[in-house]
Amino acid sequence: MVYGLARRELRPRVPLRPGEGDKHRLTSLEGLAALSLDALSSVAYGPEAIVLALVVAGTGALTATLPITLAITFLLAALVVSYGQVIAVHPDGGGAYAVAKADLGATASLLAAASLVVDYVLTVAVSLAAGADALASAFPALAGDKLLVCLVGLALLAAVNLRGVTESARVLMLPTVLFVVAILGVILLGLLRAHPLAVVGTARPVHATEALTALVVLKAFSSGCSALTGVEAIANAVPTFREPRVRRAQRTELMLGALLGTMLIGLAVLIHRDRVAPRGGVTVLAQLTAGAYGTGWPYYATNLVVTLVLGLAANTSFGGLPVLMSLLARDHRLPHLFGLRAERPVYRYGVVALALLAALLLLATDADTHRLLPLFAIGVFIGFTLSQLGLVRHWAARRPPGWRRRALINGTGAVLTTLAGVILLFSKFLSGAWVVVLAVPLLMLLFARIQRYYTEVGEELGLGRIPEPPPRRTASLVIVPIGEVSELARHAVGAALALGDEVVAVAVHADPARSRALEEAWARWDPGVRLDIIDSPHRSLVQPVVAYVQRAAADGRQVAVLIPEVEPRHRRYEILQNQRGLLLATVLRARTDVVVCLLPYRLKL
């Protein structure tokens, strides 16, 4: 103690790189914006899917919209509680994949991973396509450019996410608030009005082709369950939250469940009361918006916000799939490059892969929402079911306090999601669900083959085993390809002399006069290194050097080839440099076992 100051322990502090530290991770509200828009925005097509399934039994069947929505909301509550438990048990993220790997075995984890990959890619495609539909509801002239609108939106979204999920969360905060306020406004004003304020779209004749049977109700229930997609995204991306991560992620999951349930029930009440049937050129949500706000500027503003949020809802996948792919890469089920992060906490290879796959899917379906929806929910329900079955097994094996209640919640949710998934599969199989049935096993096979490859490579490399002592040091030879006597040659020869016991410079010339001039210049310079000139009548550079290296390495010596490369200061000048060095290095690596080194010579220009 000196002058009342306590002695302080000095510890070195390492500065964080850009993208590290809690300030670059998500708060609960930012997580709601970045990871929940898929689920929240599904109110734009989930209720409509119920209406389309019921209207085959006539407009009178639309009264079943509300009880079906209440059943879906009950399932939503079970899923929210279940995924809150998933977050606590698996705080490293991964969701259904992490649960299946820990509690259900290798095959189930492969199934979960494949279904989640399909789900995430389809989430991007469906969100963008539905956004284009909402835009066309307000501006019919854009109906013919839906694919272009989707691709532009996808490119912008990928660019934002390549900068980092935190930045994208901040971008999404305002649209999320506007969307929630707009939808709650539609519900409140719609309930306060005795009848719709305006009607939009063109009338379509409704002819009942079926009776309102249990099968029709079950089809409507399974179709409406598309509104539950995205509930799992928060559990998949727990590592992106600030500390305490588990508590923040669980709070975000609860906020998502409360908002989504409120909006689904509110819209279902309006559909039930006004018997809103499909009309030409507009969505069901656009009809409800016109009924609440009229056709003035609030109608157009709401449709624009819905369009924006549906487009941005794909951000859920950009926040979740790259993290999942990094987990698969860590488990050797995807190429390891998917586990690499940039300086910002972004798995950029995963972001790029997701953008490319979604673009291909949009091109293949011409951005048609109704062609995408049958593919959409199959993978989602597989993930839901596996995560809940895995938690049932987790509670039964560990038996913590209250485990029976938790297992009952998860078991009930598993039964409901299995029922919905089976109904959706059989009812939509010929409409496109067969594609998912084919894609999921193929992805499982791909993951398994990649894992087997890494296992065999590990065996061959002896990973995890102590190797034999290295061979004793032998004389080494460093070969330096050169073109002429210059500062570049001096730079390369100097580096080679520091690396090996013997250094030899090699030049290839087709012109005897130039060969003699090089020999004379070399003799005047006299760097203390032998120069071998190879005659090449056909003006080939690479093959003569490769043959020379192969002969030099034939006696078992350790041979290294040091290739000098000119690097301009500005990247725009790179095209002005020849790429023979890179070509030579590529061929040497393919045809020999020698050490190949590229030595940069950086210009000031």
User: How confident is the model at residue 344, as a pLDDT?
Assistant: 58
- The two tokens of residue 553 are 């390495």
C-alpha–C-alpha distance, residues 467 and 200, integer Å: 75
Number of residues assigned to the chain: 605
Query: Tokens for 121?
Result: 């890619």
Contact 67, 54 (CB under 8 A): no
Please tell me whether the peptide bond between 244 and the residue prior to it is cis, using omega within 30 degrees of 0.
yes
Alpha-carbon gap, residue 253 to 231, rounded angstroms = 8
> What is the pTM (predicted TM-score) of this model?
0.72
Contacts of residue 420, Cβ cutoff 8 Å, sequence gap at least 6: 75, 221, 222, 225, 377, 381
Mapping DSSP onto H, E and C, the string for 257-318 reads HHHHHHHHHHHHHHHHHHCCCCCECCCHHHHHHHHHHCCCHHHHHHHHHHHHHHHHCCHHHH
Structure confidence at residue 449 (pLDDT):
93
Return d(Cα 426, Cα 211) in angstroms, integer: 19
Domains of the chain: 7-16+26-454 (1.20.1740.10), 476-602 (3.40.50.620)
Q: Are 202 and 281 in contact (CB under 8 A)?
A: yes
Burial status of residue 130 (CB atoms within 10 A of its CB: 0-12, 13-18, 19 or more)? buried
CB burial of 72-99 (b: ≥16 within 10 Å; e: otherwise) equals bbebbebbbbbbbbbbebbbebbbbbbb
Residues in Cβ contact with 528 at an 8 Å cutoff, skipping those fewer than 6 apart: 497
CA 434 → CA 117, 429, 554, distances in Å?
Answer: 16, 5, 57
105: alpha, beta or left? (left if phi > 0; alpha if psi -120 to 50): left
Give the per-residue pLDDT at 19: 41
**Dihedral (Cα; 45, 47, 52, 55), 10-degree rounding:** -160
Residues of the chain with pLDDT under 70: 1-24, 93-95, 164-170, 208, 342-345, 377, 470-474, 537-539, 576, 578
Query: For residue range 238-257, what is the model confidence (pLDDT) as tens digits?
Result: 887 888 888 888 899 999 99
pLDDT in tens, 498-518: 887 889 999 988 788 888 888
